[in-house]
Amino acid sequence: MSDNAKRTSSPTQPLKEGPKAGAPVPALPAWLKAYGLSACIGAGIVIVVIVSATAYRSRQNKSYEVAFQQLKAAKSIQAVEQVLAQYPTAPSAPDARLKLANERYHAGLIQEAMADYEMFLSKYKEHTNTVAAELGRLLCLEASGRLSEALEGLDAFTNKYAAQLYIIPQAVFAKARCLQDMDRLPEARAVYEDFALANSNNVWAAQAESSIDIVDRLIREGKPVRTNAPANFQMPAFPAAPPAIPLGSSDAAPAEATPAAPATASPEPPKPAQPVQPAAPGK
């Protein structure tokens, strides 16, 4: 059998039918038909831009990581200021602003700290740490002696963030301190008592009960003296550290906040070489 015969006799696949006469030819997408080569060139440019942006983000990510690590290591106002000035748009910039406010608060720079907290609240309204900034601002009001404003704000704060158990105790104790400074000792006692009853199994209960004892003594003696020093506020923002607890007159252990020893009325340890101190309550 010839090769032509073999090719003729072998089974063949059916050919696909071509378009029938008069059938419409599928049209190009309208935008491609309209823009043609320009669209293709534009797509090429987009690819170049994406590649360039990816490389830029990679460099930025390294820069941001450096900013984060420097902020984490910063232990002074100047160090935090330097990080914030060098990386003002880094993702950690809000945390840097909050940490700067906290550092200034602890340094006694209350007005500067308040300005930082207010700047944070104005610039980063949707940030997850606005609650810490709000409380920080209220504690600055307290430390500035603007007790009525602080008390009003703390009332609203405790109602708004009642479920935020990690930070509410600091607000409650600040509220009681304001009442004490306003010579409203029975009301301050009620705040401590309500808190102690609601948190009987909480680590804060001992502090509340200790403060109740001190307020009771002050009421008996008629001496409207605050039971706590200004709050040792720590924003719970960065770097994932637990909030500081304003225990009694210092941030020491609860046992040191009890009224048994007058020396605990000061946040600094007693210095034997300086025997003269203002008389503590009860002396």
pLDDT given at position 35: 52
Task: Give the helix/strand (H/E) hosting 197.
Answer: helix 185-198
Instruction: Supply angle C-alpha 108, 112, 114, rounded to 5.
Output: 95
Whether 265 has a pLDDT exceeding 80, the answer reads no
Report the alpha-carbon distance of residue 87 to residue 58 in Å, rounded: 16
pLDDT given at position 137: 96
> Tens of pLDDT along 19-52?
555 555 555 555 445 555 554 454 444 444 333 3
pTM listed for this prediction: 0.59
Number of Cβ within a 10 Å radius of residue 271 = 9
Question: Which pair of tokens denotes residue 257?
Answer: 């906040």
Report the alpha-carbon distance of residue 47 to residue 264 in Å, rounded: 67
Maximum separation of any 2 CA atoms in the chain, in Å = 129
228: left (phi over 0), alpha (psi -120 to 50) or beta: beta
Q: Which domains does the chain have, with CATH numbers?
A: 76-265 (1.25.40.10)
Which one-letter amino acid corresponds to residue 246?
Answer: P
pLDDT given at position 192: 94
Nearest to 210, CA basis, from 174, 178, 248: 248
pLDDT given at position 160: 93
Percent of the chain whose predicted confidence (pLDDT) is above 90 = 34
Query: Which comes out higher in pLDDT, residue 277 or 92?
Result: 92
Phi, psi torsion values for 72, nearest 5 degrees: -65, -35
Report the alpha-carbon distance of residue 52 to residue 68 in Å, rounded: 24
pLDDT given at position 275: 39
The per-residue pLDDT of the chain, averaged, comes to: 71
Whether 166 has a pLDDT exceeding 80, the answer reads yes
How many residues in the chain?
283
> Tens of pLDDT along 215-249?
999 888 886 555 444 455 554 444 333 333 333 33
Average the pLDDT over 249-261 and give the result: 36
pLDDT given at position 205: 87
Lowest mean pLDDT among 62-71, 138-147, 186-195, 270-279: 270-279
> Tens of pLDDT along 94-118?
889 999 999 999 999 999 999 999 9
Report the alpha-carbon distance of residue 54 to residue 49 in Å, rounded: 8
Location of structure tokens 């004892």: 213
Q: Are 220 and 227 in contact (CB under 8 A)?
A: no
CA dihedral sign of residues 202, 206, 209, 214: negative
